[in-house]
Structure 1
């Protein structure tokens, strides 16, 4: 299937545009609050990464908001709808910007899990320095941009006048069709395996190790008498464990929302020349649902912070109390 066609099951597609625009709008506002809270003067290394995560999630949602508003509300996701050339560029650039920012968010989430693992399970605190967090952000930004660039060559804008129709549509580029094994398949594996499947597996392992470490620490603490532990020390220990569990919860949400996408890309890569993963991402009901999971993932962190982090709630009170 070289050209994208309208989905055969339009039931969900009729509400996807409205639903995604609402969630993206709310998610952008929540991520602005996240950025304000985590970028206070008394920040630590994890705060810097969480601020960057809020920025990337916010831009990811903004990109999808632009794409979804045009493709589902202003016009329609079908070749039978009239689309201008400029509109098709909005779709392509908006969607691929969404993928780029989301891949950067994945990198930051994995980095947070790795840093917390070394701190909790290995007692290695060098990675917790603020300057190291800035290095991670710059390194991740460069890697993500370089990896995402080939995605922009996957599709091209097609003039329907060649088929005696008016308007423009999107199809696989000549380069993509001519380089199946040298371009299409590697691109699917990079996106689905390197940026999705492997991070999911790593995060499950790291999260399990951190939870076990917290459980062992709790057992050791319970073996001590209450008199031997200062109240302030107990409070600091509880706050430390809550912060770790908060990061674990972020990882859990990530794994739940990203695993279906990772499996889809992985299976598409196995199809080799018949792989149509990006077709499903852009033009099918299945792709819309996978996109919605990603949008929910980018919007959910605020609720994790507000329910599990005392420091975040304290900062929120300071921000809104003036």
Structure 2
């Protein structure tokens, strides 16, 4: 696909005409629900997991907000086609929202991995920490996450550029987006490595790690249940039953969050991995931004960023209590 000739009008499944409406509704609801998530998890004194869940609400909310701004301009104010006139400022805003979405989405991914690791040590290693130690762990995770993501996403800033359609000897006016000259001139030094980093380091490896950690946690829960079933004293069973059920529900809640994350990330991970294997000029990110398949992948991702509220509310008693306190129900 030639960058200069691409129209961005590929609509293999006829989905593009409704994507703008669906994603606007999902993002709008998701932003509000993630605000509720943040307020609920910060309602009382928070553990490391609570702080990370509150931070996940912030990053998911900002990712959805970035996509919402892009979506409103691209699907409602103008149109996702090169034939529609776009101003230079509008196209630059699209690129800015694209990069912001990647940053906040990767921060969400980092926090999800951190949650899985923290819960693994809590469930499988029975690590008990003081409040000071918890604060240090939380601060370390947050700072290292922000710095790592900002550094890791730096190469993406050189991928796109805005160009004037009138300079391309066409009858079209306005501006559009294409791969930068730097990307075109550095296929093997830039395009291929960035696909491997994006597909493997940011997608496949975290998915594999979280699947493994979730498996260990499920195994630990089953072993704990088996030991409790072997207890002979009914009074012992009754005193530990409530706390055990709630503890396991919290663990299962985080496992479900992890599994939904994995399922939503795998299609993009595989696509990026295959594109990297080709070791040739790639239009992967252009494909994500301008194709109906990319839009379907986007929809899966924003649904994932919106779904946490329903998981929390269904499976976490503490979250429901915080919601009641928050709204004074």
Q: Structure 1 length normalisation: TM-score?
A: 0.96
**The one of 134, 140, 154 aligned to 1:135:** 140
Measure the CA separation in 1 of the matches of 2:288 and 2:98.
10
Indicate the residue corresponding to 1:87 in structure 2. Answer: 90
**The one of 119, 122, 127 aligned to 1:119:** 122
Shift of 1:2: 3.7
Preserved CA contact (<8 Å) 1:34 1:54: yes
Q: Structure 2 length normalisation: TM-score?
A: 0.94
Measure the CA separation in 2 of the matches of 1:302 and 1:51.
11
Preserved CA contact (<8 Å) 1:57 1:105: yes
Task: Tell me if 1:256 matches 2:263.
Answer: yes
SS at match of 2:177: strand
Preserved CA contact (<8 Å) 1:118 1:125: no
Unaligned stretches of 5+ residues in structure 2? none
Indicate the residue corresponding to 1:286 in structure 2. Answer: 293
Q: Deviations over 1:177-224 (max 9, x none)?
A: 111111111111111111111111111111011011001100100111
Measure the CA separation in 2 of the matches of 1:263 and 1:286.
14
Which 10-residue stretch deviates more, 176-185 or 128-137? Answer: 128-137
**Structure 1 residues 97 and 2 mapped into 2: Cα distance closer, same or farther (>3 Å)?**
farther
Preserved CA contact (<8 Å) 2:231 2:237: no
Shift of 1:288: 0.3
Q: Deviations over 1:241-300 (max 9, x none)?
A: 111111001001101111111111111111222322112111101100111111011101
SS at match of 1:156: strand
The 5 A counterparts of 1:13-52 are 13-52=16-55
Indicate the residue corresponding to 2:249 in structure 1. Answer: 242
Unaligned stretches of 5+ residues in structure 1? none
Measure the CA separation in 1 of the matches of 2:141 and 2:110.
9
SS at match of 1:108: helix
Shift of 1:306: 0.3
SS at match of 1:169: strand
Indicate the residue corresponding to 2:101 in structure 1. Answer: 98
Indicate the residue corresponding to 2:316 in structure 1. Answer: 309
Indicate the residue corresponding to 1:76 in structure 2. Answer: 79
Indicate the residue corresponding to 2:219 in structure 1. Answer: 212
Preserved CA contact (<8 Å) 2:228 2:237: no
Preserved CA contact (<8 Å) 1:192 1:262: yes
Preserved CA contact (<8 Å) 2:23 2:299: yes
Indicate the residue corresponding to 2:192 in structure 1. Answer: 185
Indicate the residue corresponding to 1:58 in structure 2. Answer: 61
**Structure 1 residues 181 and 126 mapped into 2: Cα distance closer, same or farther (>3 Å)?**
farther
C-alpha RMSD over aligned residues: 1.5
Runs of 4+ in 1 over 4 A off after TM superposition: none
Shift of 1:130: 3.1
SS at match of 1:272: coil
Q: Deviations over 1:92-135 (max 9, x none)?
A: 11111111100110000001001111111122334982331121
Task: Tell me if 1:148 matches 2:153.
Answer: yes
